[in-house]
Amino acid sequence: MCRIALNVINCVLISVGLGFAILSTVGNFWVELSLSYYYEHAGLWNWCDIYICRVITNATDILTVTRVFMIIGCVSYFFAFVLNLLTCSKKIKQRKTSGVLLCATAIFLAIGMSVYTNEANKNGAYKYRWSYIFGWCSFSISIVSAYICFAIEPKNDDPIKPKNDVRIELSNLDFRYDYRP
């Protein structure tokens, strides 16, 4: 019962984390600059001021690296979600594969977010907004989900592990004892 509840909780966590990763990747509110006379905000794909949004066509190497790692993180999150659904439906029994994929997802997201953080901190006027925060929340959820995948114990009917109970059948044994003094 507890294993089923953990599987369901993990499926929900992974789907929320995947949603956060996608929203973070496509969102236009990674950073914001708000002055008394000027306002702008930017994401990985668009830069917007108070009137119009423009596509970022001449992306820096830092922005390209962030984009690539965030996309790879979203794709690996999706595959981890599919594997976890198959585990919940008992089509496969490899929970640890989903856990390893979630660890890789956390690494991809952390690299993408850290590279962007390092670049954005060079100009102290920017404030981080919801798209950026969703990215770090998604990273945290992937770590928690990976831990749950590794923490769920397998059933005892696994053919590799021996069973604990041993039964000896005595019905076919003959206990005749012929005693002659």
Q: What is the per-residue pLDDT for 170?
A: 58
DSSP bridge pairs for 161: none
Q: What is the per-residue pLDDT for 59?
A: 87
Q: What is the per-residue pLDDT for 69?
A: 97
Tokens of 144: 């928690």
Listed in order, strand segments (DSSP E) in the chain are 31-34, 39-42, 46-49, 53-55, 127-128
pTM of the full structure: 0.79
Helix, strand, coil tally for the chain in percent (to 5): 55, 10, 35
Q: What is the per-residue pLDDT for 15?
A: 95
* DSSP-based three-state secondary structure for 40: strand
Nearest by Cα to 48 from 31, 68, 65, 26: 31
Residues 62 and 115 sit within 8 Å (Cβ to Cβ): yes
* Residue that the structure tokens 């794909």 belong to: 45
pLDDT digits (tens, 9 = 90+) for 144-172: 999 998 888 665 544 555 555 555 555 66
The rounded distance, in Å, linking the Cα atoms of 67 and 133 is 16
Q: What is the per-residue pLDDT for 93?
A: 74
- Where the chain has pLDDT below 50, the residues are 157-158
